[in-house]
Amino acid sequence: MKLALSSQLKNRLLPWRDFALCLLIGVVIGVVTISNGFFAQPVHAAPTLDLSLFDDEMNPAIYVDHLSPVVVKEGETFDLEFVLSCAYIDIFPDCSPNGTLFVADAPNGKFTPIQLEEDNQTGLRVFRTTLVAPMKKGQSVEYYLEVFEPQGQVNFRYPSSGTVQVEVVETFAEVLVPQSPEITTGQLILQLPWGNNESSVGLFEHETMIAGPGAFATSTKGEIALQDPVNQRVLLYNQELHTFRSFAVHLSDSGDLEFQADGSLLVANFFGEKTDGEESILPQLYRIKADRGAIERVGPIFARIPFYLTKDASILNRDDSLVKPMDAQGKGRSREAQKNDRGKPPLGIRWLDENHSRFSDPKAGVAIETSSVSPSGFISHFVKTNDGYVIVFRSDVMHVLWLDREGKLLSDTTVKPELYTEWNPYTLVKVTPDGEVWYMSSTQDGGIAIYEITQP
Amino acid sequence: MKNKIVRMMIGLVFGFLLSVLTYHTVRAYTCLTQETDCNAGSSISSWTASQAVSYVRTAHREPYQLGGGWWNPNQDQDAYHSVKGYEGPDCSGLVFKSWAMSYSTGSTAYWSWNKTHDVHGPYQASTFWGGCSGVCRTLCGSSTTNCSSYTLSAGDAFVGLNPPLFANHTVMITSRTTGGDYYVVDSNYNGYGADGGGSYYNGWRETTSGRANYKNTNGVKGIRRNPW
């Protein structure tokens, strides 16, 4: 019985033996066809880099991340570090930028090349060297970096114009930053609820995003200007008359505004918008003239990461240069003009570590080194006032230090702004020429409040 | 005899089709969505923090989309795509692609993702908080502490789960400022389409500090991709 069944099965399967064999042959033919690249994507020629896709200001081909020492002591050794990374890793995944440092030789002013040491700690391509500051006060250390990347054939100089200059000082005014004193609250200047009428500011809550006013400014004439991006306007409050004016303009939560010496108010949108003649979104500058007529567009700001607006119509950019988007007649400047004519901040700051920082005012010959027992936070403000300087350290609190003209600590205070909406430590805190510090708080139910603190 | 030849021919055709179909199925898996270019990227043997920083910077001025994973790095908003939807990654999708993480959960292998390819990856912000299934590690911070006394590097990320400002959000660090602050790539309210037109109210920007006090907020962690 068993034998009969087996023979029956064999007879039934026998005709399919050829089918199975041919199926196998078919698979083999398929594999051979695929492995010969029949279905593969067409092979492209060797990739080339289209450098027109990049520009130094807004979209660099190679990023140079470098923190200048800003100010050093005579004879002091100090490190220079440059982190280089390619923006075109899609085209050349193994791109490997190299840098040669050129340092000014003090006696003859000639620049001497220095080969940098490469270090790939934590996967960052870091190039570094150690220099010694000259033993002569007032003699700065000057350098620039030549960057070359062989695969993309990219060759450029950092900074793109001029050099990096490090001030050399004989000594620092030493300031021991006290432990943050007990938290106080400033004097309430202005409080506005959430809303969209003439005396309120917009609140936008969605997913992880909570947006509200991103910047404010105060004038010596008693005006307070507020960016109200959710309502797409600038609000101008007159403290004496208790009146509001509204100026419709395209804003993001990232921007700044600042009153100028001629009485005008400059308004910057750092996210920006796409305007006629531009291929991409660019930060934009607007102006409300002293007569407080309509708001007008000045033009684009060619700065990749703007920090804040200054009182002389400049914008501090990522590489610590001052971009000037407007000419003397108040007209917008071209990309080339903004690139070729950049300024340098009059004051220098350099955070060394959680407990030490340096500050310099080369024009006044003042150099300050702060040290603290507990972490100080980062430096959000170093401002020259009529009577000296104001330093603002930012951690979970805002620690404000008032110093005299020689850099001696006079007093300090600590406040803790409430932040329901997004923060911006640079544009939601302002220091007046008289040394008053204004800051904005926001709460879920209470709207926004602007406070003023004065030197204790 | 005729039947035998027919069976053999069918066998040959079936065998051939089987291998071709298998090949295309595997390719479609790596493609993940039915894009016109169907070009996900490629497996790579190494990926550095420098490369991650370069990659994440390409999202500058590109839109944000919850659950999204593709962008065309032209610092502008692209038109709605019939298959991929609106342009823009969300926070976890951006870090996933920038860290060249594998689609295979828990794998520390590297995958170079094309930016225009629509892939979010299997990790949410909460997964980053929990260690990315072993692909990342915590350097500082916890649900009750912060990163105020720890110095993070470029390529590291902040992740937090605490409302209101940092609810399920992650941002990557790109460098430091001279003032000791961090540059991060964070999503911002940009004022476009807040009325729903294109839902482009939220765009990525390389910026100082980001939109919250990440370093000093309890409940925010600093994390690093393994094995960096």
Spatial distance between the Cα atoms of A108 and A104, rounded to a whole number of angstroms? 8
- Contact check, Cβ <8 Å, A354/B153: no
Whether pLDDT at B31 is above 70? no
Does the ipTM exceed 0.90? no
Indicate the residue of B17, B58, B188 with minimum beta-carbon distance to A252: B188
Taking only the tens place, the pLDDT of each residue in B197-207 is 445 578 899 99
pLDDT in tens, A101-112: 999 966 667 899
Q: Choose among B151, B121, B163, B164: nearest CA to B224.
A: B151
pLDDT tens digits, one per residue of B46-104:
999 999 999 999 999 899 998 999 999 988 888 888 888 889 999 999 999 999 999 99
Residue B191 has its nearest CB partner, among A125, A251, A426, at A251
Between CA B29 and CA B9 the distance in angstroms is 30
What is the pLDDT, as a whole number, of residue B24?
Answer: 61
Contacts of A251 in chain B (CB under 8 A): 191
Contacts of B74 in chain A (CB under 8 A): 279-280
Q: Which residues of B touch A86 (CB under 8 A)?
A: 54
Residue A294: predicted pLDDT: 93
Does B165 score more than 80 pLDDT? no
pLDDT of the residue at A206: 80
Where chain A has pLDDT below 50, the residues are 43
**For residue A304, what is the nearest residue in chain B, using CA coordinates?**
B206
Convert the pLDDT of each residue in A246-304 to its tens digit.
999 999 999 999 999 999 999 999 998 888 777 788 999 999 999 999 999 999 999 99
Are the Cβ atoms of A89 and B51 closer than 8 angstroms? yes
In this predicted structure, what is the pLDDT of residue B77? 84
Are the beta carbons of A19 and B10 separated by less than 8 Å? yes
> pLDDT value at position B34?
42
Residue B58 touches chain A, beta carbons under 8 Å: yes
Per the model's pLDDT, the better-predicted residue between B35 and B179 turns out to be B179
> Maximum distance among all alpha carbons in chain A?
115
Q: How far is A205 from chain B (nearest CA, A)?
A: 10
At a CB cut-off of 8 Å and minimum separation 6, what does B223 contact?
B128, B129, B131, B132, B136, B137, B138, B139, B156, B157, B158, B159
Token pair of A440 as six digits: 């904005």
Residues 162-221 on A with a CB inside 8 Å of B are 204, 206-211
Cβ of B57 and A87 within 8 Å? yes
Residue of A nearest to B203 (CA): A271
pLDDT at A51: 84
Q: Which residues contact A77 (CB under 8 A, 6 or more apart)?
A: A130, A131, A132, A133
Chain B contact for A42 (CB, 8 A cutoff): no
Alpha-carbon torsion (A108, A111, A115, A116), positive or negative: positive
Chain A CB within 8 Å of residue B99 CB? no
The yes-or-no verdict on residue B139 having pLDDT over 70 is yes
Q: What is the reported pLDDT for B198?
A: 47
Q: Is the pLDDT of residue B194 over 50?
A: no
Q: Do A22 and B165 lie within an 8 Å CB cutoff? A: no
Kindly report the average pLDDT of chain B as a whole number. Answer: 86
| A442: amino acid identity, one letter | S
Q: Closest partner residue to A254 among B50, B179, B188, by Cβ?
A: B188
Q: Is B153 on the interface with A (CB under 8 A)?
A: yes
Taking the CA of residue B185 and the nearest CA in chain A, the distance in Å comes to: 11
Helix (H, G, I), strand (E, B) or coil at A433: coil
Q: What pLDDT was estimated at residue B35?
A: 44
